[in-house]
Copies of this chain bind each other. A is one copy, B any other.
Amino acid sequence: MRVLILGADGYLGWPAAMHFSAKGHEVEAVDNYFKRKTCLELNCESLLSIPNLHARAALWESLTGKRIVVKIGDIADYSFISEVFKEFRPEAVVHFAEQPSAPYSMMDQAKAFFTIQNNLLGTLNIVYAMREFCPDCHLIKLGTMGEYGTPEIDIEEGWIEINHKGRRDTFLFPRQASSLYHTAKIQETDLLWFYVRTWGIRVTDLMQGPVYGITTPEIEKDQGLATSFHYDEVFGTVVNRFVVQAVAGHPLTVYGQGNQVRGYINLIDAISCVYLAAEIPADAGTLRVFNQITETFSVNELARRVRAAGVTLGYDVVVQSVENPRVEKESHYYNPKYTGLLELGLKPHFLTEELLKEMFRVVSQRKEGIISDNIFKGIKWKG
Contacts and interface: CB of A to CB of B under 8 A. Distances in A.
B168 A171 contact: no
Contacts of A382: 198-199
Contacts of A186: 187, 190
Interface residues of A, number: 47
A183 interface: yes
Contacts of A198: 178, 327, 381-382
B168 A152 contact: yes
A176 B197 contact: yes
Contacts of A110: 78
Nearest to A109: B128
Interface of A: 78, 109-110, 112-113, 116-117, 120-121, 124-125, 128, 132, 151-154, 160, 162-165, 167-169, 171-172, 174-178, 180, 183, 186-187, 190-191, 193-194, 197-199, 327, 333, 381-382
30 contacts: A78-B109, A78-B110, A109-B124, A109-B125, A109-B128, A112-B124, A112-B128, A113-B124, A116-B121, A116-B124, A120-B120, A120-B187, A153-B165, A160-B162, A162-B174, A167-B333, A169-B174, A171-B176, A172-B174, A176-B197, A177-B194, A178-B198, A183-B190, A183-B191, A183-B194, A187-B187, A190-B190, A197-B327, A198-B381, A199-B382
